């Protein structure tokens, strides 16, 4: 893993930040192309130029960047309120981002912006869906390179990945998983291997023999591949003249299904019915997608191609 790509003097350049920036650039590019293809323009204040596709894409990307990161951090702090009370400085740390917190806040502010410039909301969201699904996948590469704990359970598959150099050590991340799965705890020699010091990473954090030899499911890469597949599907269906909102509905159905499935391999606490918090949120998104699909089917006019 490569949490730090390179250093120049006291400055460190992190792989997560690079891939996050690349994700926004990719999303912005795809959104611009979709808005141009559909001829979507807004209405500016009296006496000022009407915002075109490029203007709208840039404004929405900025909103997504600021509101998305803010929402992700706020929800993360709420989830771990005790840690925040112990150390309020974590509010400004780059880690601990909960993606669906950012998704909800950013979408809400984007819709308010679209209404202000008189852009058809559902038609725009169809364009945004295609950008979102691929940008999310690209962003997950940053999680993989950083080894920030978004990886999955131990595996012996040939593409299993060692995350000893990552920012979140497997020996710590697997503690709850092995508590719930005592047979796996024995199989992977968790207690004996984690007690053996194995080295210190580039950031000065110690890792154990368990971290050094235990391969984990690279679930961020799974999400990247699913994001690419989702992008190709949405792009293919977007030219079919479906009613406004149906592509975004399909995005919600795909994205929620992808996340729900991958979560079974991830090292996240189980809440209700053995499901993680992300899976519960995915159920809400899936239901929203079904509702929007049905609602868009009652639209009087098909979407503009």
The pLDDT assigned to 300 comes to: 45
Binning pLDDT at 50, 70 and 90, where does residue 10 land? confident
Where along the chain do its domains lie? 4-151+217-297, 160-216
Residue 128 has pLDDT above 70, yes or no: yes
Residue 117 has pLDDT above 50, yes or no: yes
The pLDDT assigned to 87 comes to: 57
Phi then psi dihedrals of residue 140, to 5 deg: -65, -20
**Pair 61, 31: CB distance under 8 Å:** yes
**Pair 141, 19: CB distance under 8 Å:** yes
* Per-residue pLDDT tens over the stretch 76-91: 666 565 655 565 554 5
The pLDDT assigned to 97 comes to: 55
User: Element (H or E) spanning 4, and its range?
Assistant: strand 4-8
Closest to 187 measured CA to CA, from 162, 160, 217, 155: 155
**Pair 34, 238: CB distance under 8 Å:** yes
Give the global pTM. Answer: 0.88
d(CA 16, CA 224): 14
The pLDDT assigned to 305 comes to: 46
Q: How far is CA 20 from CA 27, 32, 72, 142, in A?
A: 11, 18, 13, 7
Q: What value does the mean pLDDT of the chain take? A: 88
> Cβ neighbours of residue 87 under 8 Å, at least 6 residues apart?
none
């Amino acid at each position: 893993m490569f949490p730090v790509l390179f250093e120049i003097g006291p400055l460190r350049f992190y792989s997560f930040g690079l891939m996050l920036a690349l994700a926004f650039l990719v999303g912005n590019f795809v959104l611009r192309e979709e808005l141009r293809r559909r001829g979507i323009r807004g209405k500016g204040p009296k006496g000022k130029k009407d915002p075109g596709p490029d203007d709208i894409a840039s404004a929405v990307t900025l909103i997504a960047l600021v509101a998305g990161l803010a929402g992700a951090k706020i929800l993360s702090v709420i989830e771990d309120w005790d840690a925040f009370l112990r150390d309020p400085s974590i509010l400004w740390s780059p880690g601990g981002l909960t993606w669906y917190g950012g998704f909800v806040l950013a979408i809400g502010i984007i819709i308010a912006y679209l209404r202000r410039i008189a852009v058809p909301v559902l038609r725009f969201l169809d364009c945004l869906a295609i950008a979102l699904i691929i940008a999310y996948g690209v962003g997950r590469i940053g999680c993989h390179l950083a080894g920030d704990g978004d990886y999955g359970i131990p595996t012996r598959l040939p593409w299993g990945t060692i995350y000893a150099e990552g920012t979140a050590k497997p020996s710590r991340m697997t503690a709850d998983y092995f508590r719930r799965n005592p047979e796996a705890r024995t199989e992977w020699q968790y207690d004996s291997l984690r007690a053996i010091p194995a080295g210190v990473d580039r950031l000065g954090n110690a890792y154990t023999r368990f971290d050094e030899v235990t391969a984990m499911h690279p679930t961020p890469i799974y999400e990247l591949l699913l994001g690419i597949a989702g992008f190709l599907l949405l792009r293919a269906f977007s030219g079919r003249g479906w009613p406004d909102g149906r592509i975004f509905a399909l995005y919600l159905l795909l994205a929620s299904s992808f996340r729900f499935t991958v979560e079974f391999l991830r090292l996240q606490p189980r809440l209700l019915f053995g499901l993680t918090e992300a899976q519960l949120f995915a159920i809400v998104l899936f239901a929203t997608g079904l509702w929007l699909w049905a609602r868009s089917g009652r639209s009087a006019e098909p979407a503009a191609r």
